[in-house]
Amino acid sequence: MKRFLITTLACLSFGGATIFVYANDAHHPKVEVQKSYAVKGEVVVVDKASGKVKLKHEPIPELNWPAMTMFFEVADKSQLDVLKAGDQVKFEFVSKEGGAPLITQINTVK
């Protein structure tokens, strides 16, 4: 019985320490999840040199944004090669806290 109690106590102590160490492990940082937004809009300007596109987009209620015209940076600059002013597009972007919106996907709509 004494051996059982010692083994149980050792397991509980070791297990609790393991959970604490794992939760504070620098090799497993917390990942910041970014919310993605899907929007429709119209291309106004394509600026390949800076990797940005100016879009006139519909309202985005989740962000309390009215319909407006603004520049967006594009994650994959090659997506700008097929865009021109006047194109109707669907695009997805992420917006980090305090950061500029970044388009992760943009496609023309026919």
Cα end-to-end distance, the chain, whole Å: 77
- Is-contact 96 70, C-beta < 8 A? no
| Separation CA 78–CA 64 (nearest Å) | 30
pLDDT at site 73 = 95
Give the pLDDT confidence score for residue 99 in this predicted structure: 79
pLDDT digits (tens, 9 = 90+) for 66-80: 999 999 999 999 999
Whether 18 shows a pLDDT value over 80: the answer reads no
**What does DSSP assign to residue 56?**
E
What superfamily would CATH give domain 36-108?
Answer: Copper binding periplasmic protein CusF (2.40.50.320)
User: Where do the structural domains in the chain lie, given as residue ranges?
Assistant: 36-108
Tell me the pLDDT band of 13, cut-offs 50, 70 and 90: low
Percentage of the residues of the chain whose pLDDT score is greater than 70: 70
Q: What is the pTM for the complete model shown?
A: 0.68
